């Protein structure tokens, strides 16, 4: 890998990691469903005016938008709003890899490799450690983030059926579908008055944070990911995603003042070790590794 490609990969990781901090800042001012709607509406517009509709079935693209964006980020944002610490949220949601393995095995009767089971067990121990040490008031947020990981896994199964050579149009149009689907949810759960009050109160930093979620995080970093996958084997690129929670947790400590404890460090080691074993087991299979943490 050239120095330029390595720099692009590290930029992608930093964008995705920093985005968790930006989400936390956004939730200080905007309710979670409204923030989800605004993020994907902005990701879709004005991009849909310049990006042609992807060739795959519109039903598949809409399904991907539903589970990858509407449900996943609605649950993630709600979980963080319910008290799930930013750094831990970035770690817990990575267990989508093991939900994906289970779904694929269930739907295709594909045998799970022993090393993947070992990895899932190790990562599961990390999750138990997190759940055990969280205060009771935060455990609902923990469960919401786990549910978000499950939704991401469903999206992984759907995107494996899309087989698009142009992933960016899929993301743009799936974002458009996601924003349309999230709008009535936000209206029902948060109400038009609360939505309008939140949007009206957004200042310049809040809009810049929203723009960061919509464009660099959703479009630019995904574009870098797709470009790198065309230049290199997926087995070389996919391990970079293991750095995302490390960046997110480090920035949460630095920018948000989140506490470093022995059990957090142990949970990080357990979950990332389990994920690393899954990456090793999947190295020979490109399609297991192509869905990024957008």
Per the model's pLDDT, the better-predicted residue between 290 and 58 turns out to be 58
Per residue in 240-250, pLDDT (tens digit) is: 878 899 999 99
Average pLDDT over the chain, rounded to whole?
88
Q: Which stretch of 5-19, 49-63, 186-200, 248-262 has the lowest confidence by average pLDDT? A: 49-63
Nearest to 10 by CA among 205, 225, 230: 225
**Residue 232 scores a pLDDT above 80:** no
Cβ proximity of 94 and 293 under 8 Å? yes
**Residue 236 scores a pLDDT above 80:** no
Q: What is the pTM of this model?
A: 0.91
**Residue 2 scores a pLDDT above 90:** no
How many whole angstroms from its chain centre is CA 35?
15
Domain boundaries, the chain: 3-288
Q: Binning pLDDT at 50, 70 and 90, where does residue 63 land?
A: very high
Q: Which residue has the tokens 């692009």?
A: 8
Per the model's pLDDT, the better-predicted residue between 212 and 110 turns out to be 212
Q: How far is CA 249 from CA 16, 135, 209, in A?
A: 12, 19, 18
Q: Which residue has the tokens 């939900």?
A: 99
Per the model's pLDDT, the better-predicted residue between 117 and 147 turns out to be 147
Average pLDDT on 119-131 reads 91
Residue 279 confidence (pLDDT): 74
């Amino acid at each position: 890998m050239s120095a330029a490609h390595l720099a692009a990969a590290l930029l992608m990781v930093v964008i995705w990691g920093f985005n968790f901090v930006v989400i936390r800042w956004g939730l200080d001012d905007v309710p979670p469903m409204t923030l989800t709607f605004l993020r994907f509406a902005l990701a879709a517009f004005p991009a849909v005016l310049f990006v042609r509709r992807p060739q795959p079935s519109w039903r598949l693209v809409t399904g991907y938008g539903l589970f990858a964006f509407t449900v996943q980020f609605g649950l993630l944002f709600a979980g963080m709003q319910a008290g799930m610490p930013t750094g831990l949220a970035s770690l817990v949601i990575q267990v989508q890899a093991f939900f994906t393995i289970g779904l694929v095995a269930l739907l295709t009767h594909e045998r799970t490799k022993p090393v993947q089971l070992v990895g899932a067990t190790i990562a599961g121990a990390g999750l138990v450690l997190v759940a055990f040490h969280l205060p009771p008031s935060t455990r609902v947020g923990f469960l919401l983030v786990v549910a978000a990981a499950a939704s991401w896994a469903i999206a992984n199964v759907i995107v494996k059926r899309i087989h698009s050579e142009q992933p960016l149009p899929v993301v743009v149009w799936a974002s458009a579908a996601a924003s349309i689907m999230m709008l009535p949810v936000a209206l029902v759960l948060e109400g038009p008055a609360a939505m309008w009050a939140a949007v009206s109160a957004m200042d310049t930093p809040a809009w810049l944070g929203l723009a960061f979620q919509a464009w660099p995080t959703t479009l630019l970093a995904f574009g870098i990911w797709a470009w790198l996958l065309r230049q290199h084997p997926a087995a070389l690129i996919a391990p970079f995603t293991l750095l995302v929670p490390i960046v997110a947790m480090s920035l949460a400590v630095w920018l948000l003042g989140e506490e470093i404890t022995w059990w957090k460090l142990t949970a990080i080691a357990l979950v990332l070790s389990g994920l690393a074993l899954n990456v090793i087991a999947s190295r020979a299979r490109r399609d297991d590794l192509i869905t990024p943490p957008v």
